[in-house]
Chain A
């Protein structure tokens, strides 16, 4: 009996903890973003973060994009060939990549490559008192550290996903047409016929939303990490897990909204 009560107690406590962390994250992020238009202008630091987060993730995005397109071409071909509709391959690849795989896999890769780095970097700045040092040097750490990273992640992800999509479709074309012998005309024509502006826009909406989510989660968890080496390690893992789950949940919500 007491075990059951204490179980509910624990559940309640962890739920309250979750809610209060969510509130804390919201207030920290919105307060940081509110500093965007204030002086001193942090444009330079946004550019630097776009370099770290965006340019730094190009290779991994290109690689995942290429292999996603290639495997889609293989899988799609063997399925479609059973119905004699290999000509639909281009449309299948394009729709899958533009609507789902590009945004979701692109965001996952950004989390793994850049999100974890954001959390670890901010966590280490916390451990080594660099955040306090900024504060003491009259530089607002929320304006200097959190805000540029959230803005950069939000701006950069759509661009990365555009490249992911194009490379994925290009690689799908190579495998489908050059390797499996699908008619190139049909491949391209079906691709163009089936993809609508709505599909493409849905992809961009997701990209922006995921970029923002990664920025908010990874900066928050790093900023509030327990200031020990162990705490930073834990925070990094937690940031990657939470971002990934968050991306999938948000993906479902956005898909059901915009389908």
Chain B
């Protein structure tokens, strides 16, 4: 469904993404994993069209997504949904208006019909009856579920998830993870999930992409990743503090710094 070729994004003089090729298959869940700073959120923003790549190509079907007109981009986005890391509910509106937002904006449906759709979507995420709460009155987990209901309001073909479980307690995180999985099975949309939560990611993934320092280091099914022999992959999924991905971020050697060798400030006696 989505193909990216040699995708590169440079911020200042650091490359957040370095020549990444990725293929998101229709009606499957693609999970992009990696540590913080690995470029996974950058990749998601590029695929969603929130940022433009420095170089490289993105194709939606046969369409060039990078050089698309804003009008066509907005047409495409009516069949996309996104669940943001901090839910990003519009805080001036209650739950009902948040979930109904895209329907109010892009459809001419009767309010009765919209009401029915919203009731169904909220039921799917287990929050029917909470229509009149404001975003500030919701817990993190509930806000995530409302955001999920909002993303699904227009029955999109593809839904993006940015760190769906981060900042949630284990139960809420589990709820969200199963919702992502079950809803995809039911409504046959395509999911792209960005996460550093190894367990959750591997549980729901049809296809896993593992990023490190802006490059893909492993790709395959969840089982491929679980049984990978690559030392970096092993370190990531086992969560070991040191290994090929070093614990220390210092570029000078410890001994040199302690002995006041050139490159550090030396205090004269």
Q: What residues make up the interface of A, taking CB atoms closer than 8 Å to B?
A: 40, 124, 128-130, 132-140
Contact = CB atoms under 8 A, between A and B. Distances in A.
25 contacts: A40-B105, A128-B86, A129-B84, A130-B88, A130-B90, A132-B82, A132-B88, A133-B82, A133-B84, A133-B89, A135-B50, A135-B77, A136-B50, A136-B80, A136-B81, A136-B82, A136-B160, A137-B77, A137-B102, A138-B74, A138-B77, A138-B78, A138-B102, A138-B106, A139-B105
A40 B74 CA distance: 12
A138 B107 CA distance: 12
A133 B48 CA distance: 11
A170 B80 CA distance: 58
A129 B106 contact: no
A136 B48 contact: yes
A40 B89 CA distance: 21
A117 to B, nearest CB: 13
Given A40-B105, A136-B80, A137-B102, A129 B48 contact: no
Given A138-B74, A138-B105, A138-B106, 19 more contacts: A40-B105, A124-B91, A128-B86, A129-B88, A130-B88, A130-B89, A132-B82, A133-B82, A133-B84, A133-B89, A133-B90, A136-B48, A136-B80, A136-B82, A136-B160, A137-B77, A138-B77, A138-B78, A140-B70
B213 interface: no
Contacts of B74: 138, 140
B85 interface: yes
Nearest to B73: A138
Contacts of A136: 48, 50, 77, 80-82, 160
Given A137-B101, A138-B74, A138-B78, A132 B50 contact: yes
Interface in B83-98: 84-86, 88-91
B124 to A, nearest CB: 19
Nearest to B70: A140
A138 B105 CA distance: 9
A4 B81 CA distance: 54
Interface of B: 45, 48, 50, 70, 74-75, 77-78, 80-82, 84-86, 88-91, 101-102, 105-106, 160
Given A136-B48, A136-B82, A137-B77, A128 B102 contact: no
A132 B105 contact: no
B88 A133 contact: yes
Given A133-B82, A137-B101, A137-B102, A128 B77 contact: no
B107 to A, nearest CB: 12
B91 A130 contact: yes
B9 to A, nearest CB: 16
Contacts of A132: 45, 50, 82, 84, 88
A232 B101 CA distance: 26
A128 B91 contact: yes
B11 to A, nearest CB: 14
A134 B84 CA distance: 11
Contacts of A137: 77, 101-102, 105
A129 B147 CA distance: 12
Contacts of A134: 90
A40 B105 CA distance: 9
A133 B135 CA distance: 14
A130 B84 CA distance: 9
Most buried by A among B45, B78, B105: B105
A134 to B, nearest CB: 8
A137 B81 CA distance: 7
Nearest to A131: B88
Contacts of B82: 132-133, 136
A69 to B, nearest CB: 36
Nearest to B74: A138
Contacts of A124: 91
A139 B88 CA distance: 14
Nearest to B82: A136
A103 B106 CA distance: 41
- What are the 9 A-B residue pairs with the smallest beta carbon separation, nearest first? A133-B88, A129-B88, A138-B74, A138-B77, A136-B82, A129-B84, A137-B102, A130-B88, A138-B78
A128 B85 CA distance: 9
A139 B105 CA distance: 8
Nearest to B101: A137
Given A135-B50, A136-B77, A137-B77, A128 B88 contact: yes
A111 to B, nearest CB: 22
Contacts of B77: 135-138
A15 B85 CA distance: 37
Given A137-B77, A138-B74, A129 B85 contact: yes
Which of A124, A130, A134, A136 counts the most B-chain CB atoms under 10 A from its CB? A136
Contacts of B86: 128-129
